[in-house]
């Protein structure tokens, strides 16, 4: 248990930040899941739209301390590779 006022405040801040970080990560995971569902369904138009949403969310989250920029970039690269694969197979 925290004894000093500053330690009590730190606990409050940690709880608040943890909740916000978890919310942001959950947003990313849910959006990635919808993108992957579109890719599995081989629906190119939907997959393109979902990829744009996913990239936007990853960029927004990586601008905070929740997710590192390189991690977001790596995820976008891997997802884009999947998008290109279904775009190539649909032609």
CATH number for 10: 1.20.58.110
CB atoms within 10 A of CB 31: 19
Region 15-34: what's the mean pLDDT?
98
**Alpha-carbon dihedral 9, 12, 13, 16, rounded to 10 degrees:** -170
Judge contact between 34 and 49, C-beta under 8 A.
Answer: no
Report pLDDT for 91: 63
Report pLDDT for 89: 80
Is the pLDDT reported for residue 37 higher than 80? yes
Report pLDDT for 6: 97
Domain range spanning residue 36? 5-90
Work out how many domains the chain is built from and give that number: 1
pLDDT, tens digit (0-9, with 9 covering 90-100), for 48-76: 999 999 999 999 999 999 999 999 999 99
């Amino acid at each position: 248990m925290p004894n000093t006022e500053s330690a009590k405040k730190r606990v409050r801040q940690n709880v608040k930040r943890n909740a916000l970080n978890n919310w942001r990560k959950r947003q990313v995971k849910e959006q990635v899941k919808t993108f992957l569902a579109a890719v599995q369904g081989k629906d190119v138009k939907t997959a393109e739209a979902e990829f744009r949403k996913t990239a936007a969310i990853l960029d927004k989250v990586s601008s905070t301390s929740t997710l590192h920029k390189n991690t977001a970039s790596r995820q976008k690269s891997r997802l884009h590779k999947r998008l290109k694969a279904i775009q190539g197979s649909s032609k």
